[in-house]
A and B are shown apart, each in its own frame.
Chain A
Amino acid sequence: MITKNRKKNSGGYDFSLLLPVLLLVGIGIVMVYSASSEVAFKKYGNDYLFLKKQGIATLIGIFAMIVFSYTPYRLLRHFSYLFLITGLGLLIILKVSGMGYEAGGATRWLRFKGFSFQPSEFARFALVIYMAYSLSKKHENIKNLYIGFLPHVIVLGIFSALIFMQPDFGSVVILAIITWIMMFVGGVRIMHLTTSLLLILPVAVYYMMTAQYRIQRLISFLDPWKYPRDEGYQIIHSLMAFGTGGLWGSGIGQGYQKLFYLPEPHTDFIFSVIGEELGFVGVVIIISLYALVLWRGIIIAKNTDDLFGSYLALGLTVAIGLQVFFNMGVALALFPTKGLTLPFLSYGGTSLLLNMAFVGILMNIGRSG
């Protein structure tokens, strides 16, 4: 069975992964243009601005994907600590250097010579590689609390603390869940995982309650229609977009909620624009494409004999899958608003570049596993 799979994946590209990804990226370009053109025109006088930037990011992303798909993933193992330190370094630079770029009350971006970059995205990448490396290395002693559990939680804790300070609660949650899932798959004791979760929970709740904007987000999440002009604004406009779209959608470019009603229509709320313009049918197609990517990643992780490769594939798949789940969940009011992008679809160079790199790595694992 393993040989059979090997044969299948031995040469060329893994189309069952590549095709849905390219489709998503393609739809993404169209939807970014549709969602951003009015905003871009009114704010910058150029309705093609975001389309152009996204197009360039896509080309770079595809290039990165190809490079990573031909780079033996095992090499990453040697860089795991380097990446980890780089990730930490970038987060610290963001905090202390003043090169950070503030948007919407949070400093999440590094700006360097006109190029913006989100350190937390890279931190996620670094953490996944570190976890895969560490879990595979400690495989034999994974049930040991001090070997299998605590070191990972400490690394996560450091990252989390730095990202908390931006503040970017959403990224912390995703990082934590990725870590937990990878530990779960890696065989860390369920006992450790659940007990620690129960310990962390009160801390998280306390944290939630300390920041005014988080409380507001929570309140508005619970009853958005009560605060249509204030905290609930984003959520209800997102829901209106979905509702207006109905089954078939209002057609590409025909949506209204992107016209300054939806904040960040081309990044955080691109799924709402899709919901309005492509309808439920479009939403189902998008979800299905993500499901294909997910299962391709899961199958690759399952079929890889090399533990590092298997964990890495799983970690990357989960990283993509979680972000998809949370972004869509926010747009559909399942979760309070978080500043999360939708992989492959949202406007944003860092996000696209990294996600494409993830796909490249997955392809490489699939090919060599």
Chain B
Amino acid sequence: MKRTEEKKIKIRIIIVGVIFTVFYLVIGAKAAYEQIYRGPTLSQKAADQYEKMYYASGKRGTIYDSKHKEMGVSIDSISIGAYPKKIKDKKDDSKTIAKYLDVNEKRLLKKLNSKKSFVWIKRHVTPKKAKNIKDLNFEGVDFIKEHTRVYPKKTIAAQLIGFSGIDGKGLEGIEFYYDSYLEGEDAEQVVIKDALGRGFDHEKRVSDYNGNNLILTIDSTIQYIAERALEKTVNDFGARSGMAIIMDPKTGAILAHAHYPFFNLNSFGKYDRGLWRNRAITDPFEPGSTMKTFLAAAAIESGYCSPDSIFQCNGEHNIEEELWEGAKEKQWKTLQQIIKFSDNNGAVKVAEMIGNKNLYNTLKDFGFGSKTGIDCPGETSGSLKSYLRWSKVEAGTISYGYGISVSAIQLITAVSAIANGGVLMKPYIVKAITDENGQFVSSFRPQRVRRVISETTAKTVRDIMATVTTSGGTGVGAAIEGFKVSGKTGTARKINKKGEYEKGKCIASFIGFAPGDNPELAVLVTVDEPQIKHSGGAVAAPAFKKIVSETFNYLTITPQIAAVRK
């Protein structure tokens, strides 16, 4: 009896053990259910509570011109967003908000009904409007400090500077090219909050997110001078468009980079996209007679010629507007005269003398056919075929600028090499990057690419080019009293869609530098399809003169100073 009772007790003890084991298994099963099966849902719910989106949009850096004037600057603005999950009465709220903010009610409601954790209601509103909404105390509506990009100089250097979009991302021009430097850091970040709403991660100061500033080589006053002159020229001649570039030939720094027609960076969306393009960098064109400059350089450098070498030409002066149509009355001209009068036939003769290879190599050394490496997006390399593939006609036409295409930046860079004594410089737009406190992050020094021609050759070519602006020369319109001005005109016929050269559609250009023997400025002016007059000498040379003389005025470069510097 006692034995059996003891046994029963032991059995009951085991029963208790088994029951508790079942209890523990139930716990384990429930844990598996909550942690494995329901885990993702629960953790999302948890995250919704303790994660708060924190928008620390660092300010985009400022773009300054070389005189530290603001070209592009970000100012504080407020954007309104919403956490759809936290909004209870979506229909009612969207109605009210739509009314206050002047946004489409249906579209707003659609946004609020979306599954996204955050949506924008309206970006960049005025503080007053934001306050109106704030006062209504909507749950789930958030106000985020953002920045709006403003371009105080509006149209100035618009194609060069480019712009940034609503998210503060650079879309065009310098804004695009230097976006990684300019942009403020990490615009949004998740901050973990405890139940009392305090952040646990150490929040960075917003200023830590600020982007860097750019200091351009552009001087906005010179830019303004160039733009006004360009505007006047294009309008006076009923042209389609124009470009003007001013370079410091010694360094390759771009002082002005003008395109016409203008567009206002603050409302870029209202303009035709075609206007946004930095055409001086991206668009190749047939340069025409300005190329003779480099032909002359090749001729002198080759040693076969001197300025006084005589060539038998077909007798037509300044035949640019009529393509080379074969020999007429024969006439003897020196190399210098060929340049001065821009004699295509003479140019062909010069090219024949120095040979294709020589010409090709010199052009190549001047940077044609390859990118200059300027710090702008979308640069074209133009086209310069290898001399081995030149046809007989091409071998001649290339000498006066057909059958080759160049960009405006290539042209000004190449001519600067002649101006500075024979060294090709790399053109650049940004001379320094500074942080928000103005401390230098990096600065860019002028970069030599290569020596193209000897100093003597360069001087000889400069002298030849100086005759262009003297009496009888094609570029006499560019002459500035008291200064020696070297230059070369160009009047290039445009090719139409059929691949034919079209009469009356030209690119008139002038390329040059001054003061003649120690050039401070190299300037290129091109005018697309001038109507009243067509030649570079008539259209572009006066613009060149206006730009250079006004800029000299601004820089207080006087004939005396120029002489002393010489």
Contact = CB atoms under 8 A, between A and B. Distances in A.
B12 interface: yes
A38 B194 contact: yes
B28 A185 contact: no
A259 interface: yes
B13 A298 contact: yes
A243 interface: yes
A334 B39 contact: no
Interface in B1-60: 5-6, 8-10, 12-14, 16-17, 20-21, 23-24, 26-28, 30-32, 34-36, 38-43, 45-47, 49-50
Given A243-B42, A256-B192, A328 B14 contact: no
Contact of B24 (A239, A245, A279, A325): A325
A240 B38 CA distance: 9
A334 B30 contact: yes
Given A291-B24, A295-B17, A283 B45 contact: no
B195 interface: yes
A302 interface: yes
B195 A261 contact: yes
Contacts of A181: 16
Contacts of A243: 34-35, 38-43, 45-46
Interface in A307-342: 307, 310, 314, 318, 321, 324-325, 328-329, 332-334
B27 A246 contact: no
A237 B42 CA distance: 9
A194 to B, nearest CB: 15
Given A275-B35, A298-B13, A325 B23 contact: yes
Contact of B46 (A244, A280, A310): A244
Nearest to A238: B34
Contacts of A170: none
A310 B9 contact: yes
A256 to B, nearest CB: 5
Contacts of A291: 21, 24
A332 B27 CA distance: 8
Contact of A287 (B5, B10, B13, B27): B27
A126 interface: no
A303 B197 CA distance: 56
B52 to A, nearest CB: 12
A33 interface: no
A155 B28 CA distance: 35
A41 B342 CA distance: 87
A259 B194 contact: yes
B196 interface: yes
B444 interface: no
Contact of A239 (B17, B34, B47, B200): B34
A247 B50 CA distance: 21
A37 B30 CA distance: 28
A153 interface: no
B50 A259 contact: yes
Interface string B251-262: 000000000000
B35 A325 contact: no
A25 B30 CA distance: 24
Contacts of A298: 13-14, 16-17, 20
Interface in B135-150: none
B20 to A, nearest CB: 5
B34 A242 contact: yes
A73 B75 CA distance: 80
Given A241-B46, A260-B194, A314 B8 contact: no
Contacts of A324: 24
Contact of A244 (B26, B32, B42, B192): B42
A321 B35 CA distance: 23
Q: Most chain-A CB neighbours within 10 Å: which of B9, B49, B196, B200?
A: B9
Contact of B39 (A246, A302, A305, A329): A246
Contacts of B195: 259-261
Given A290-B24, A318-B16, A280 B50 contact: no
A302 B15 CA distance: 11
A280 B36 contact: yes
Contact of A242 (B9, B14, B31, B194): B31
Contact of A284 (B28, B30, B38, B194): B28
A242 B28 CA distance: 12
Interface in B59-79: none
A187 interface: yes
Nearest to A247: B36
A184 B17 CA distance: 13
A332 B192 contact: no
A208 interface: no
B198 to A, nearest CB: 9
A186 interface: yes
A243 B16 CA distance: 31
Interface string A251-262: 000001101110
A102 B40 CA distance: 38
Contacts of B36: 246-247, 280
A237 B49 CA distance: 10
B34 to A, nearest CB: 4
B88 to A, nearest CB: 14
Interface in B412-466: none
A240 B43 contact: yes
A301 interface: yes
A27 interface: no
A280 B9 contact: no
A173 interface: no
Contact of B28 (A239, A261, A283): A283
A240 B214 CA distance: 49
A264 to B, nearest CB: 13
Q: Most chain-B CB neighbours within 10 Å: which of A184, A185, A290?
A: A185
A103 B477 CA distance: 98
A307 B39 CA distance: 47
Given A38-B194, A260-B195, A242 B35 contact: yes
Contact of B20 (A244, A246, A280, A294): A294
Nearest to B192: A256
Contacts of B6: 305
Q: Most chain-A CB neighbours within 10 Å: which of B20, B40, B43?
A: B20
Nearest to A299: B17
B27 to A, nearest CB: 5
B31 A302 contact: no
Q: Most chain-A CB neighbours within 10 Å: which of B35, B45, B46, B49?
A: B35
B14 A302 contact: yes
Contact of B13 (A280, A314, A325): A314
A93 B97 CA distance: 62
B139 to A, nearest CB: 13
Contacts of A284: 28, 31
Interface in B296-312: none
Interface of A: 38, 181, 184-187, 236-237, 239-247, 256-257, 259-261, 275, 279-280, 283-284, 287, 290-291, 294-295, 298, 301-302, 305, 307, 310, 314, 318, 321, 324-325, 328-329, 332-334
Given A245-B39, A246-B39, 16 more contacts: A184-B16, A185-B12, A187-B5, A240-B42, A243-B45, A244-B47, A245-B35, A246-B36, A247-B36, A256-B46, A261-B194, A295-B17, A302-B13, A305-B6, A321-B23, A325-B23
28 contacts: A38-B194, A187-B5, A239-B34, A240-B42, A240-B45, A240-B49, A242-B35, A243-B34, A243-B40, A243-B45, A245-B35, A247-B36, A256-B46, A256-B192, A275-B31, A275-B34, A283-B31, A287-B24, A287-B28, A290-B24, A294-B20, A298-B13, A302-B14, A305-B6, A321-B23, A329-B30, A332-B30, A334-B26
The 3 lowest CB-CB distance pairs between A and B, nearest first, are A243-B42, A298-B17, A260-B195
